[in-house]
Structure 1
Amino acid sequence: MKLFAPKQAVKTHIISGFLGAGKTTLLQHLLAQKPEHETWAVLMNEFGQIGVDQQMLPQQQGYEVKELLGGCLCCTSQLPMQIALSRLIQDTQPDRLFIEPTGLGHPAQLLEQLTEPHWQSQINMRALITVIDGSRLHDHEWTAQNLYQDQIKAAQIAVISHADQMQDADELALSTLKNEYIAYVQKWLKSEHGLLDLQEIDLDYHGIKRNIQPLITVQKSLNQQEPMPEVKQLPYHYVETAQGYTVAGWKFSKRWQFDFYELLDVLCELQNWVRIKGIFNTNQGWMTFNFNPDQFNYKSGDENIDNRIEVITQHEHDWYTLETQILKCRINEA
């Protein structure tokens, strides 16, 4: 597909967020700040086949709104999204572009697509925004969902919506949330009724480089002259750095089962970390681990799509030793 470059790369904002977080309300208020001499464009994605959100946006001159219906532009075939986006930019030549994925979307995957080299002449990517409903932060069943957490992890800016409806429990949960995502979110903002100054979110995008590789034990077995195999499926190990923090993570097949008490011992004996979060299929059932230096919390949880663990630290670590210890806790060969 041939891409047509506009006269100048378009400032592009991705506004993500879980269902009902307030993305469209925020977008409405941002669009109201358009200078008269500029043209702005919006690309919206709804999971269903009937578009509703588009009708809530300004329809007057100076705006161009395009909807993609059915499925998620973050996860499904990239071609329809790329065609729609390229045509929108080519036909409209906007000064600024907003992309609102469905609340069921994975913004990190969309961001990965739009920061590929062939888009650089068209798109000037701004900081990715995730809108979080502040009035529901106390609801653990809501905040514990993997998709919800993945959307926050992808954010450079987190906008707390419905700030006027937050209770004391929500404020406490927000403080905990900031600590949990200290290595990811670079800026936290509160918004009442969707009100937010465009200048507060018009920041350069700074990506977090994630280096996904085979398990370290596999890497150790390779000859130094051998190329590193491409990782296309579980299990794998990754490391990423941002804001002076290192995040080391592992993902294993959900069929792998681990000895709960042996795994707990490994995690409790680890030193010099800021956060440890994990979900494991154990001989005691599926267990979630959420450690901070003051509390070692673990409890039974729902079945997950995989086994996973992340360790956030500001210190050097021997990740090979930790991986070896975790793998020794495995009790099946399935």
Structure 2
Amino acid sequence: MKLIQSHAVKTHIISGFLGAGKTTLLQHLLAQKPEGETWAVLMNEFGQIGVDQKLLPQQQGYEVKELLGGCLCCTSQLPMQIALSRLIQETQPDRLFIEPTGLGHPAQLLEQLTEPHWQSLIEMRALVTVVDGSRLHDAEWTAQHLYQDQLKAAQIVVVSHQDAMNEKDQLALNRLKQEYLAYVQHWLTSNHGQLELQAVDLPYVGVERKIQPLIQIQKTLAAGQAQPEIKQLPYHYVESAQGYTVAGWKFSKRWQFDFYDLLDVLCELTDWVRIKAIFHTNQGWMSFNFNPEQLNYKSGAENIDNRIEIITQHERDWADVEEAILKCRIDTLEKTQ
């Protein structure tokens, strides 16, 4: 089916955890549509019965479509591609909003929509994630991996329910701003979803991410040899954005590390802005959250893997860091492979 759209459509992804206020924000953004323009919305409901569509404008100049049953971020790309292609072809919109389910991983959707075959059809704008400011004090809520994934994918974070925030929420927000300084470019606040479109109508700026084999494995490859495609743990990755470099490693959850040796390695690192890690140690599962003011660590729940991220503003060779971390491993290769 050939598309006849004559210009790339400005496209916004409005993501956010369950109940954060995505639809309320979307209502207020849609109310700012200039007369004579046509705007379109593609909404994703995880269940089979659509509700949110009924909350959005139905008058002339708006086209709202729902994709039901599953998450368009995570499931097969084909239903989303078909729905989006038809919406663009049939509506010829001047602006498009996509609201994934609150259970979705927006980075996966963004990865799909920035592929080359969409570039002539879509002009991607900054990805927006909405968070409920009144729940920021709830550590169990904000510690969820899905919540963190949505924040990490965001170029703009809109903090909703500002009027209901208490002192603990504000302190938690300040910590979040430090924690995600390498990712989030703009933090905005909103009461009852009220926000000017121009505040979120910014160009999409991608994060350059390279997933690679462990550095010690890379050193075994011959000069000029292509690096193998990484499909499973362990691996090393490097991301660059806003003048920051994020170096990370993920290892199998079955790998076990000596806690005190690992703590020594992390405490001896220099020239970093932030260190976050979760490790399976001989003292149990431990999480580390280091910033220049505090070096915090505590026991935690079992994680899906061992992981560490180091944020810095300095270029460096990460081989020595990886070597030091791997020397802290205490399980045998035969036992854990």
TM-score (normalizing by structure 1): 0.98
One-letter identity of the residue aligned with 1:296: L
Residue number in structure 2 paired with 1:189:
188
Structure 1 runs of 4+ with >4 Å offset: none
Secondary structure of the residue aligned to 1:159 is: strand
Write the mapping of 1:115-130 to structure 2, written as runs, cut at 5 A: 115-130=114-129
Aligned-residue offset at 1:272: 1.0
* Structure 1 residues 194-226: Cα deviation after superposition (integer angstroms, max 9, x where no partner): 000001100000001101111111101111121
Query: What is the identity percentage for the equivalent residue pairs of Structure 1 and Structure 2?
Result: 78
* Structure 1 residues 25-62: Cα deviation after superposition (integer angstroms, max 9, x where no partner): 00011011111201111111111111111111111111
Residue number in structure 1 paired with 2:264:
265
Residue number in structure 2 paired with 1:218:
217
- The 2-side partners of 1:51 and 1:330 are apart by 49
One-letter identity of the residue aligned with 1:187: H
Residue number in structure 2 paired with 1:292:
291
1:111 aligns with 2:107: no
* Structure 1 residues 230-282: Cα deviation after superposition (integer angstroms, max 9, x where no partner): 11111111111111111001111112121111111111110110000011111
One-letter identity of the residue aligned with 1:141: E
Residue number in structure 2 paired with 1:50:
49
Secondary structure of the residue aligned to 2:71 is: coil
Aligned-residue offset at 1:3: 5.5
Where does structure 1 lack aligned partners over 5 or more consecutive residues?
none
Aligned-residue offset at 1:318: 2.7
One-letter identity of the residue aligned with 1:53: D
- The 2-side partners of 1:295 and 1:94 are apart by 50
1:64 aligns with 2:66: no
Write the mapping of 1:280-319 to structure 2, written as runs, cut at 5 A: 280-319=279-318
Residue number in structure 2 paired with 1:88:
87
Write the mapping of 1:1-334 to structure 2, written as runs, cut at 5 A: 4-332=3-331, 333=333, 334=336
C-alpha spacing 1:8/1:218, structure 2 compared with 1 (3 Å): same
CA contact (8 A) 1:5 1:121 kept: no
* Structure 1 residues 102-121: Cα deviation after superposition (integer angstroms, max 9, x where no partner): 11111111000000000001
Secondary structure of the residue aligned to 2:120 is: coil
Aligned-residue offset at 1:316: 2.3
- The 1-side partners of 2:313 and 2:155 are apart by 19
Secondary structure of the residue aligned to 1:12 is: strand
One-letter identity of the residue aligned with 1:64: E
CA contact (8 A) 1:240 1:247 kept: yes
CA contact (8 A) 1:5 1:122 kept: no
* Structure 1 residues 291-325: Cα deviation after superposition (integer angstroms, max 9, x where no partner): 10111111111221111110000112231010111
Secondary structure of the residue aligned to 1:221 is: coil
- The 1-side partners of 2:281 and 2:66 are apart by 44
Where does structure 2 lack aligned partners over 5 or more consecutive residues?
none
TM-score (normalizing by structure 2): 0.97
Aligned CA-pair RMSD: 1.0
CA contact (8 A) 1:3 1:86 kept: no
- The 1-side partners of 2:290 and 2:23 are apart by 35
Secondary structure of the residue aligned to 1:287 is: strand
- The 2-side partners of 1:45 and 1:329 are apart by 44
- The 2-side partners of 1:242 and 1:110 are apart by 19
CA contact (8 A) 1:44 1:65 kept: yes
- The 2-side partners of 1:235 and 1:163 are apart by 41
- The 2-side partners of 1:191 and 1:276 are apart by 30
